[in-house]
Structure 1
Amino acid sequence: MSLDVYQRLLALSQRRAVPAASRAHRHLSPRPWVLVGYHLAGEPSAPVAIRYGSFRAQPKLLVVAEPRDRDQRFAALGALARDLATYVSRYTETEPVVRVGNGRELDVDQCCTDAPQLVVPNEATAHWLDLLGQYLRTLDVDPVLQTAGAHLGWFASRRHLPGSSAVLTATDLLATHWRTGQLPTEDGHLGRLLAWIEPPAGQDAWTAAATAEQRPPAGPASDPEWDLMTLRPALERAKQVGDVRRLKLAAAEALDQAWRDTWTALDLVALLPPGGHVAQRWESDRWSWTRHRERVTAGTIRFGGRLSDVPAFRFLHELETRTVALERQMALDDPLVMARWLATGEAVAGTVIKRDLDHSVTSAKGSTLLRPLLWLRTQGFDRPAGTELWLGKVGLTVRSSTVDTVELMVTSGAVTRQKFNLLPECDAEVVLAPFGPQQYFPDNLPEELPWPARPTRLAPPRADEPDEDSGE
């Protein structure tokens, strides 16, 4: 049984979510831009109401009396675009940074000291903003709208990168740090997820989750009954009389719960100490924001609708590299995450019971190499001989294992007497993981691109082949 399944069963029996992490694995900005909203049913480019802002107690609310009317829609989106421009303008200060690669200094470059962060309640809202950014970038009615579309495009480009914190969805943020007793698909409902993590006093998680389902959805699609009974009369009144007060009250009431729940999610994760590699991953977001801002300022920003050939290969390569790096970093930062690797047997925890620092082997060239041995008392480690494990920067190889003992040989990092201080003493408690030093995957192009990145160009028909549409 995997640890994730065990944690879900434990939460089910306790009727309350259990921690899945003891560290915060996402960067939390002190001033995020939080956004919740509804769009017209079936028309993502027609927003009905949007609540947003960087201050919990002072959100802004935009409503569109007639979402299908282009002038009213552009007026509302223009106000949103100007506020977004004001928010991102706070992140223009730069500092000189020495960029380092392969252990040597490369050059000094200017990097923004901070970057904007967008926080939404769920994945559906994040996808809606991606579509809204594509829509705004195609408009030529107002440069402000196009610039806002460019900024939303940058957020969209970072959203799918593992470890990036430029865009946070409250549901994903909570699901990364807690396990509930419900199905993973049910964790996509922000109200239900919070009910499992912090049920009201006197209620268990099941009762609280059922109550949360009765509240208005977090968006971007609104409740059909609310559309019929509340939204439609408010839109008709705004259209006929020009009075939008009823619409604003209805929208504010419907979006209030999603607004508060999104901030609550940030509060819960902020209680955890940050992981050691979070700042490093946030620096990657800061570099990306710096380059994006430079392109926007220079007017050279471009967004391709579809990647092909080499760009597609490089993007897939980056996804694979970031996925491996994120798994490694989270496990090394967080004992509770490392426990998953211990449960599967890919990592081993134990007590050092014996050391042989004078052990040596003979290389293929006949030279004698110092290779210390360690013996660990463990429980149920059954990986075969030759398995590579790491203790920080010290690499070890499994030589043999029994029911309760593992013999390991040091192969790197501490193979000279000057480095023996890196080895644990007898009776020390250690955890050996399959994660060594940070790996660097070169993005050199292979001789042949993988099939997902190959061009799909059809060969032209030969002159002697009949045309299928000609009836010959």
Structure 2
Amino acid sequence: MSAITSYARAVAVAEQAAQPIATVRHVHLADRPLVFVPLTLAGEANAPLAAMVGTSEDQPTLLVVPQPRDRDQRFAFAGELADLVVGYLNSCCGAADEIKGQVCYRAAPQLLVPNPAGIGFVKLFGRSTRFRSTTGPYAVTPHVPLLGRWLTWFAERAEHPGSANLLAMTELLSMHWATGQSAVEDANLAAQLGWISPPPGRTGPQAAREAEDPLRWPPAGPTTDPVFDNEILAPAIRSYSGTEPGSPGQARAVERLRHVLHGQLEPTWRLMWRGLAKLRELEPGASVEGRWINDRLRFTSFQEYVVNGGLPQARRDGAIAAARRLNRLERAQVEYDVARALDDPLVMANHRAAGEAFLGTVVEVERERRITNANGNSVTRPLVVLRTGDPVLIGRGAEVKAVSRQSQKAVVVSVDRQDDAVLVTLEMQSGFGRSKTPPPGSVPEDGETLVYTSVLSDSIPSPRLPDAEDTPWTHGGPPQPYVPSDDDATEVWE
């Protein structure tokens, strides 16, 4: 937890209301996201029990599995969910533009779940369905393996820092507000929103305390409340299982199950849209649109891959593919952290508190300074001295950039600590042209206030890796290509 977040939590306790830890919204919110609230059966690995799905708060679709231990009913649920998800994906495949030399749909899917456990459900459900066969003894409808491939794609995008294709509402809210409760308690969506947006006449702690009542606010899934499981759900499932298939009694049992499961899902459904409305009140950060364009490009690319007959994602990456993916994720995390800091002064404040950035006022400028570089040429390298009261832990020789001058690189020449301040001397490296005298405005002016940071997006190098076919035997040798087989249809759900 950062220093700013810790302070904001303390203020939240004192003020009895959540405190903002962001001045802008750091994620893209689609005009028409697909909200997905899943429930699973306790004691059964990833066995779907019910789900509420839809793109409109007023028109959710309720999917129910009357007997979650029944394999056929699980696949019937998967088929219904597939029709909804694939239909939503197809609605995103409309008009397209050319971006970075690639065709890119103007829209992209966005799947919203209540919490990180919901992302886990998407990942496991994708794995359990993407290899299913559409022929043979365990045949499924063609949309089921297609659903699995797309859910796996969503899960992979959720691991990519900054992606907005699959998001957990509790994590979104925690990124923008600090409550007066622990991070574990923030996993309860109702309690978290109680702090952020309490009902009229309630303080944050009062609303959060009321939200802990599972009768009023059932868990946000995918797990259910044990009391509900034992006293309501189990008798309802037994009642269904004890009726004759196709009989009026079974129809009544199914209707009862739908009623009780609707009662478990509907409160969370309302909370999802309430949280979404709260997030929409924030203006998006400057870098948000660029990340969403990247999401659109990835969606377009994968859609084309699927349409052209590409195979399902492998069960696990080979050694080289895993190393490349890890490096991409590390670079993306650094780029995301930098972009958020440059977009938002509250996020940058975390780096200032850690000594990785500082706010300073220019007190001296040597605009026409000339030095001899390594090639023996005389070049212009202005010096700028800033006075700051922030702790500065940036070492000599470190590269820094100003938030308002992101195209101009500078190097720290010295950090001189005085009694009540710190003087930081910077040598400008670029962004002022090639003339002997930098034009006005190209170099910081005396009295100008700037924020400089050493948190840069190019700090993660790309290692040199062999091709996949050259994977050494110590790492399993070259990976074998996936070949569909009858065994895929018998893979367990978990």
Taking structure 1 as the reference length, the TM-score comes to: 0.89
User: What aligned pairs does 1:194-273 form with structure 2 within 5 A after superposition?
Assistant: 194-214=193-213, 215-239=217-241, 240=243, 241-242=249-250, 243=252, 244-273=254-283
Equivalences for 1:350-365 in 2 at 5 Å?
Answer: 350-365=360-375
1:358 is aligned with what amino acid? E
Q: Name 1:110's counterpart in structure 2.
A: 103
Tell me the CA shift for residue 69 of structure 1. Answer: 2.1
CA contact (8 A) 2:26 2:285 kept: yes
Matches within 5 A, 1:141-160: 141=139, 142-160=141-159
Q: Is the 8 A contact 2:131 2:312 kept in 1?
A: no
- CA–CA distance in structure 2, aligned partners of residues 397 and 299 of structure 1: 51
Shift of 1:365: 4.3
Change in CA separation of 1:454 and 1:175 when aligned onto 2, cut-off 3 Å: farther
* TM alignment of 1:423-434, pairs within 5 A: 423-434=443-454
**What is the Cα deviation at residue 10 of structure 1?**
1.9
Contact 2:33–2:55, Cα closer than 8 Å, also in 1 = yes
**Secondary structure, aligned partner of 2:361:** strand
One-letter identity of the residue aligned with 1:379: G
Match of 1:298 among 308, 312, 325: 308
Contact 1:382 1:402 in 2 (8 A): no
TM-aligned CA deviation for residue 3 of structure 1? 2.1
Matched, 1:333 2:351: no
Q: Give the alignment's Cα RMSD to 1 decimal.
A: 2.4
Distance change in 2, residues 1:304/1:288 (3 Å): same
Contact 2:161 / 2:333 at 8 angstroms: preserved in 1?
Answer: yes
User: Take 2:203 and 2:365, find their aligned partners in 1: how far apart are those partners?
Assistant: 51
Displacement of 1:226 after TM fit?
0.3
**For residues 333 and 45 of structure 1, what CA distance do their matches in structure 2 show?**
39
Structure 1: how far apart are the matches of 2:115 and 2:456? 34
Contact 1:352/1:377 (<8 A) preserved: yes
- What's the CA shift string for 1:183-216, capped at 9, x where partnerless? 2222222112111212223332222212111121
Shift of 1:387: 3.3
The offset of 1:168, in angstroms, is 0.8
Q: Per-residue CA shift, 1:84-107, capped at 9, x if unaligned?
A: 1111111112534242xxxxxxxx
- Identical residues among aligned pairs (%): 36
Do 1:44 and 1:132's aligned partners in 2 also have CA atoms closer than 8 Å? no
Worse-matched range after superposition: 154-163 or 367-376? 367-376
1:58-137 residue pairs with structure 2 within 5 A?
58-99=59-100, 108-137=101-130
Tell me which amino acid in the other structure corresponds to 2:76.
Answer: A
In 2, the alpha carbon distance for the partners of 1:134 and 1:238 equals 29
- Looking at structure 2, the residues matched to 410 and 296 of structure 1 have their Cα atoms a distance apart, in angstroms, of 49
Structure 2 residue matching 1:340: 3-state secondary structure: helix
Q: Which range is displaced more, 210-219 or 161-170? A: 210-219
Question: Structure 1: how far apart are the matches of 2:171 and 2:25?
Answer: 13
Q: Which amino acid aligns with 2:179?
A: T
Q: Deviations over 1:311-361 (max 9, x none)?
A: 011111111110110011101111111111111121111222222212222
The one-letter amino acid of 1:76's match is F
| Superposed CA offset, 1:13-57 (max 9, x none) | 222211111111111011111011211112244322111100111
CA distance in 1: counterparts of 2:335 and 2:15, whole angstroms = 33
The one-letter amino acid of 1:208's match is A
Q: What are the Cα deviations for residues 429-448 of structure 1, in whole angstroms up to 9, with x where unaligned?
A: 2111224576785464279x
Counterparts of 1:79 and 1:366 in 2: how far apart (Å)?
A: 72
Aligned residue pairs: how many? Answer: 447
- CA deviations on 1:203-244 (whole Å, 9 max, x unpaired) are 322222121111210011111110111112222333322112
2:411 paired residue number: 397
**Aligned amino acid, residue 246 of structure 1:** R
Q: Does the 8 A contact of 2:352 with 2:391 survive in 1?
A: no
Match in the other structure for 2:485? none
Q: Output the amino acid matched with 1:205.
A: G
Larger displacement relative to structure 2 (206-215 or 21-30) = 206-215
Measured after TM superposition, the shift of residue 418 of structure 1 is: 4.7
For 1:8-87, list aligned pairs within 5 A.
8-87=9-88
Change (3 A) 1:419 1:235: farther
Contact 2:331–2:457 (8 Å) recurs in 1? no
Task: Out of 282-291 and 24-33, give the one that drifted further.
Answer: 282-291
Verify the 8 A CA contact 2:355 2:392 in the aligned structure 1: yes
Does 1:185 pair with 2:184?
A: yes
Contact persistence 1:394–1:413 (CA under 8 A): yes
Contact 1:21 1:336 in 2 (8 A): yes
Where 1:235 maps in the other structure, the secondary structure is helix
Partner of residue 246, structure 2: none
Corresponding letter in the other structure for 1:422? S
Q: Tell me, in whole angstroms, the C-alpha distance in 1 between the residues paired with 2:265 and 2:21.
A: 29
Q: CA deviation at 1:149?
A: 1.1
Deviant stretches of 4+, over 6 Å: 437-440
Per the alignment, residue 465 of structure 1 pairs with none
